[in-house]
Amino acid sequence: MVKEARRPDLLVQVNTGDEAQKAGCPRAEADAFIRAAQDDFGLPVKGLMCIPPVEGDPRPHFAFLANLAAKHGLPILSMGMSGDFELAVKFGATHVRVGTAIFGTRAPVNDQEI
């Protein structure tokens, strides 16, 4: 096998709601994490992603992520799902997840709603 010295572009998942059941970098650590990934490890971080809490207004979460991306000069913002993608686009989303809008509600996996 030949190594090609390529690395994929990366998105950092930020847990904007600091929810225990979700993965991602906590809000308070996001700046330092992004800087370390880029400066200390030379990783090609190109954007950020989040899934706001189900309950409540997603606007503060989208605004936080958009501001964080702008601060770090990151062009990709993956935020918004079937129920809030139009709002996410207004906040600068470049990528959205709209599976439910396309495929409808699906059966739970591992006791979690999809």
pLDDT digits (tens, 9 = 90+) for 41-56: 999 999 999 999 988 9
Name which CATH class applies to 11-103: alpha beta
Instruction: Give the pLDDT score at 2.
Output: 77
> Does the structure show a pLDDT above 80 at 39?
yes
> Does the structure show a pLDDT above 90 at 107?
no
pLDDT digits (tens, 9 = 90+) for 6-34: 889 999 999 999 999 999 999 999 999 99
String of DSSP letters for the chain:
---------EEEEEETT--TTS-SEEGGGHHHHHHIIIIIT---EEEEE----SSS-SHHHHHHHHHHHHHTT--EEEEEETTTHHHHHHTT-SEEE-HHHHH-----BTTB--
Q: What is the mean pLDDT of residues 82-95?
A: 92
